[in-house]
Amino acid sequence: MTLVLLLAITSMSFAQKNEIKAIEKALKNSNFADAKSAASAAEALIGSMDDKSKAKFYLLKAQALYANGTGTNANIDEAISSLDNLKALESKMGKLKYTQEANTMTTGMMNTFLTKANDAFTNKNYKVAAKGFEKVYKMSPKDTLYLYYAASAAVTSQDYDTALDYYIQLKNLGYDGSEMNYYATNVQTNVEESFGDKTSRDLSVKAKMHSNPRDDRSESKAAEIVKNIALIYVSQGDNEKALGAMADARAENPEDIGLLLSEANVYLKMGNRVKFKELMEEATQKDPNNAELQYNLGVLAAEGGNPEAAIKYYEKAIAINPTYVDAYNNIAVVMLEGEAKIVEEMNSLGTSSADNRKYDELKEKRSQLYYDAIPFLEKALDLKKTNVNAAKTLMNIYSALGETDKFKMMRAKVEELEASAAGGN
């Protein structure tokens, strides 16, 4: 019995060595199909391999599956897993015979994946880019930036389920995305320059080649991540999870204006304009010099049938940013919306003397409304020379007011803009 068992073990040992040699031979000839087949055969014997043979097998298997970058996605994922198994095994053994070679292979694979992912992103093939960045992250989990890139690419490709998975991973990892940047001013050129690390910057300052060292932390991406999680939940109809994600984020960062605006945006997407307005007003209190916030409140007031409040908000936006074209436009729009009511009342009058007097009063009121709106439309057109809507409105107003010369001038302007737009198409 002992002799038979010894013969079986010896026979199995030979089989293991033969299969591993078969993988090596196929790889040497770049015959990756045969190498993969031999790896599959050898895997059936892995239970009886010693640790040294297992380590070598994991490396060869990874090389066979990766096939110098030509393997399928599934094969490449398996190759990465095989390299991880090798590193874990040798770490446990305390003998790193193949780990260095595995690390070199991992670095090469990462560089290849990263190049392909960047190229795919540049060529707007965002789905491929997302998978590529994810592979890089899986091979180097400490480099969470690549998972962020994967999420950004996935959401751009509108693959929201995949993007949500990546964003949730980032949130659970506590990914912030901000980093410290190091600057100093070149003494010779007097131009501020950035450095890759603090040590290099400080050495240059010490050598008097640079001066005025400055550290600057880039903006956190936490608000963007939570916002995108919430918006994806909204698109999936899961509003409860959306608001839950936003509430968690705001509880941790109560003064973050970005998160506040993101939560307001979620309520707007849900059609809850009351809550949206409430949060926007809170935002204006936290950031009173934000013209866009004032403008958005103006839009809400106008949609809610409160033209006086709308105009006040638009005027606040203009006071903060005198070049806010849309605010000028919208003041004119709100003013001119009052015309319909005046015309309706004019049309309802009879032919009595009193009615005729009332008609003249209303006509004068309508003319005044036109005159009030003109400066805002002219400013909007002055700030944006291609603003054909403002030009058309001015043309119609000048026609209604009987200002023939201005009407002809503005008609020529409209024709010029429309011709230019048609030529551009």
Instruction: From 181, 275, 180, 178, select the one nearest 224 (Cα to Cα).
Output: 178
184 Rama sector, left if φ>0, alpha if ψ -120 to 50, beta otherwise: beta
The pTM assigned to this predicted structure is 0.60
Q: Assess whether pLDDT exceeds 50 at residue 1.
A: no
- H/E stretch holding 212 reads strand 210-217
Of 280, 279, 278, 300, whose CA–CA distance to 290 is shortest? Answer: 280
Question: Which residues are CB-contacts of 215 (< 8 A; sequence separation ≥ 6)?
Answer: 180, 181, 182, 183, 198
Q: So what's the pLDDT on residue 424?
A: 62
Residue 326 and residue 407: Cα distance in Å, rounded? 23
Query: In this structure, is the dihedral angle defined by the CA atoms of residues 166, 279, 241 and 172, taken in order, positive or negative?
Result: positive
Which residue has better confidence, 42 or 173?
Answer: 173
User: What is the rounded CA–CA span in Å between residue 385 and residue 368?
Assistant: 25
- Lay out the sheet containing 192-195: strands in order across: 192-195, 180-186, 210-217
| Domains and their CATH numbers in the chain | 2-142 (1.25.40), 180-217 (no CATH), 237-322 (1.25.40.10), 339-424 (1.25.40)
Place of tokens 């809170």: 282
- Angle between helix axes 404-424 and 388-401 (nearest 10 degrees) is 160
b vs e for 173-206, b when ≥16 Cβ sit within 10 Å of the residue's Cβ? eebeeeeeebebbeeeeeeeeebeeeeebeebbe
- Sequence-distant (≥ 6) Cβ neighbours of residue 378 within 8 angstroms: 394
Which band of pLDDT confidence, cut at 50, 70 and 90, is reported for residue 46? confident
Identify the pLDDT of residue 6.
Answer: 44
Return the minimum-mean-pLDDT range out of 66-70, 106-110, 179-183, 209-213. 66-70
Closest CA to 150 of 164, 25, 36, 342: 164
Q: How far is CA 359 from the centre of its chain?
A: 56
Task: Determine what percent of the chain is predicted with pLDDT higher than 70.
Answer: 95
Residue range 274-318, pLDDT digits in tens: 888 888 888 888 888 989 888 988 888 888 788 898 899 999 999
Residue type, 241: K
Q: How far apart are CA 114 and CA 118, in angstroms?
A: 6
For 376-399, the pLDDT digits (tens) are 999 999 999 999 999 999 999 999
Reduced to 3 states, what is the DSSP secondary structure of residue 272? coil
Task: Enumerate helices (H) and strands (E) in the chain, giving the number of each.
Answer: 20, 3
